[in-house]
Amino acid sequence: MRDDLNPEFTPEQGKLFVIDAATAEIVREVEPVPGQRDIGGIVEALPGLILGACADPATEGQWLLYGVDVATGEVLLRKPVPGSFRLDTSTNRHGANEYRVGPDGNVWAYVGDVLVRIHPEDVRVEVLGRVSPPGRVAFAGDDVYLCGTNELRVIRGIAGE
């Protein structure tokens, strides 16, 4: 990733930085995927658990879901995800690379144009279906609303399942 304060420098390793909000000091640096510069998008999936996804530097076409304990800096998991679940990082058009924690406590994300739900307790990936084009996700009760087109798109009742 490019450093806006030092655009000539490109780091060899992507890191997560844990910052103490009271002191504004970096208290921990974590390398969740050794050998990977771009560690992808992240979300706090459960209190103290950061979940992210990025390309696996060791296997072409393979992606990894990873989990990090913010309090200790321990990488709790690295789970391979099949190539068909490859996240499209070429654009963030209409939220295609965002993660959202839903009212069901799961992480909602797109993998390409496939909407998935990731269960943080066991990092199980549930495929919900193809959405074209992907759109930012908003929740209202058990319903999921999607932007990205001129029409209002809603998937009724799915967030409560």
Class of domain 16-160: mainly beta
Indicate the pTM of the whole model: 0.80
Q: What is the pLDDT of residue 140?
A: 94
- At CA 59, angle to CA 58 and CA 61, rounded to 5? 140
Choose among 26, 34, 51, 36: nearest CA to 1.
Answer: 36
Pairwise CA distance, residues 59 & 28, whole Å: 28
Pairwise CA distance, residues 138 & 136, whole Å: 7
Least confident of 2-11, 50-59, 143-152: 2-11
Which helix (DSSP H) or strand (DSSP E) does residue 87 occupy? none
Phi-psi map region of 24: left, alpha, beta (phi>0 left; psi -120 to 50 alpha): left
Q: What is the pLDDT of residue 120?
A: 92
User: pLDDT > 90: what percent of the chain?
Assistant: 48
Task: Name, of 64-78, 122-136, 140-154, the range with top average pLDDT.
Answer: 64-78
Q: What is the pLDDT of residue 86?
A: 46
* Mean pLDDT estimate for the chain: 85
Instruction: For residue range 103-130, list pLDDT tens digits in order.
Output: 999 999 888 788 899 999 998 999 998 8
For 39-69, give one letter per residue: b (16+ CB within 10 A) or e. Answer: bbbbbebeeebbbbbbbbeeeeeebbbbbbe
Whether residue 88 has pLDDT greater than 50: no
**For residues 85 and 126, which has the higher predicted lDDT (pLDDT)?**
126
Domain boundaries, the chain: 16-160
